[in-house]
Amino acid sequence: MSDLLKELRSKIDSGTRISEDDALALFESNDLLGIGELAALVNRNKNGDKVFFNVNRHINYTNVCVNRCAFCAFSKEEGEKGGYTLALKDIRTRAMEAADAGATEIHMVGGLHPDLPFEFYLEMLESIKQVRPQLHIKAFTAVEIDYFSEVAELSIERVVERLKQAGLDSLPGGGAEILGQQVRDRLCSEKISGDRWLEVTELVHGAGLRSNATMLFGHVEQYSDRVDHLRRLRELQDRTGGFQTFIPLAFQPENTRIQGATGVGGVDALKTLAISRLYLDNFQHVKAYWVMLGLKIAQVALAFGVDDLDGTVVEEQIGHDAGADSPQALSKQQIIGMIRKAGRIPVERDTLYNEIRTY
């Protein structure tokens, strides 16, 4: 074991926090197994042998978006060929199908549509709750919340309150990308700033809603940008405790406008998951999002500090438009099999990590 890892091991044993310098040194290290071993230890202390998954359905209600993020292969301009917005009755039908197939959660995000009124979003939530009140609706990134406040000319607090009344139960963690502004200028200059993302998220947590946090990595950022991203999340979590899960997303370069990006290697993907587990000591869960990592790496990630494999996603669009070659949906049996073959205990959870059933 290298000196760095020995030092980190004693920090972990004594409950001392890992510093930004430590995290950076880990990113620069090639000791994949050593980093994995430490992350696995930390995860075991937090979550034992359990690996969580949920049964959910993604609904991407529109791909029309006023932002033109360079990394995105999903968005269309208004009037562009291939642009769509789902009708309320389609959203209702999808929610009913999902619930009847055993889903406990709807994961719903979309583009920033230029014309839809705020009431549309409220109606989406209400109509899902009308037909299947038991579904947990996890919807809208901080970016969308900020946009709604602009569209509705209401404060963030008021927007969140109205959404909550209409049926919003929690928020996913998208739109964080890399929080540092220099990277955002190259990646998504029209999107809200990293500071604003954190501000909106803090208000969401303040309103009593839980959310996740993501990090899109493997494009134009440096390791130091990743560490800075993790630092900002850890600080916010210290204040609010509202984050449930951290989800590093491996950038998919196809059909995007990022020049020269080759995609994330397996070693970088596993290292990033493991380092996140080590640094984000105040996050209970780290998720391997198999849609972007592929099933094999996602399963291997369970030995690198990961305790969550996301859902049995139905109809994922965003990652696949960017060339993800994973299947579009996984059956519950497949996910249970994957977890078992990794020597761990599969636990179906609801969105808030209440255990539904152990397999």
Partner 1 sequence: MLEKIAKKIEHGKQLTRKDALFLLSEAELLAVARLADNIRRKKHPDNRVTFVVDRNVNYTNVCESQCKFCAFYRTAEDGDAYLLDYQTIFAKVQELVEHDGTQLLMQGGLHPTLTIEWFEELFRQLKERFPRVQIHSLSPAEVIHVARLSGLSMKKCLQRLQVAGLDSVPGGGAEVLVDDVRREISPNKIGWKDWAAVMEQAHKLGMRTTATMMFGSKESPEDIVEHLFRVRNIQKKTGGFTAFIPWTFQPDNTELGGETASGVEYLKVLALSRIVLDNVENIQASWVTQGARMAQVALFFGANDLGGTMLEENVVAAAGCSFRMSKDEVIELARGAGFIPARRTTEYQVLEEY
Is residue 239 at the binding interface for partner 1, with CB under 8 A as the rule? no
Closest distance of CB 323 from partner 1, Å: 13
CA neighbor of 311 nearest in space, from 251, 265, 247? 247
Size of residue set near partner 1 by CB under 8 A: 29
Is residue 172 at the binding interface for partner 1, with CB under 8 A as the rule? no
Give kind and range of the element (H or E) at residue 194.
helix 194-206
Single out the residue of 199, 268, 281, 350 in contact with partner 1 (rule: CB under 8 A): 268
Residue 70 per-residue DSSP state: T
Is residue 5 at the binding interface for partner 1, with CB under 8 A as the rule? no
Residue listed under structure tokens 């709807």:
106
Is residue 6 at the binding interface for partner 1, with CB under 8 A as the rule? no
Interatomic CA distance for residues 9 and 86, integer angstroms: 51
Interatomic CA distance for residues 275 and 107, integer angstroms: 27
Closest distance of CB 324 from partner 1, Å: 12
Give kind and range of the element (H or E) at residue 109.
strand 105-109
Is residue 331 at the binding interface for partner 1, with CB under 8 A as the rule? no
Is residue 338 at the binding interface for partner 1, with CB under 8 A as the rule? yes
Q: How far is CA 284 from the centre of its chain?
A: 14
Contact 309, 45 (CB under 8 A): no
Question: 286 in helix, strand or coil?
Answer: strand
Is residue 286 at the binding interface for partner 1, with CB under 8 A as the rule? no
Selected range binding partner 1 among 8-16, 57-65, 194-202, 293-301, rule: CB under 8 A: 293-301
Closest distance of CB 3 from partner 1, Å: 17
Single out the residue of 300, 306, 309, 336 in contact with partner 1 (rule: CB under 8 A): 300
Q: Tokens for 116, please give them.
A: 């839809």
Closest distance of CB 338 from partner 1, Å: 6
Single out the residue of 73, 178, 302, 309 in contact with partner 1 (rule: CB under 8 A): 302
Selected range binding partner 1 among 89-97, 107-115, 219-227, 335-343, rule: CB under 8 A: 335-343
Interatomic CA distance for residues 229 and 279, integer angstroms: 11
Residues 9-68 that bind partner 1 (CB under 8 A): 30, 32-33, 36-37, 40
Single out the residue of 341, 352, 355, 356 in contact with partner 1 (rule: CB under 8 A): 341
Is residue 273 at the binding interface for partner 1, with CB under 8 A as the rule? no
The residue type of 200 is V
Closest distance of CB 284 from partner 1, Å: 22
User: Going by C-beta distance under 8 Å and a sequence separation of 6 or more, which residues neighbour residue 227?
Assistant: 20, 23, 24, 27, 279
User: Going by C-beta distance under 8 Å and a sequence separation of 6 or more, which residues neighbour residue 177?
Assistant: 69, 71, 183, 184, 187, 188, 191, 214, 215, 216
Single out the residue of 80, 97, 296, 355 in contact with partner 1 (rule: CB under 8 A): 296
Give the footprint of partner 1 on this chain (CB under 8 A): 30, 32-33, 36-37, 40, 262, 264-270, 293-300, 302-303, 337-338, 341-343
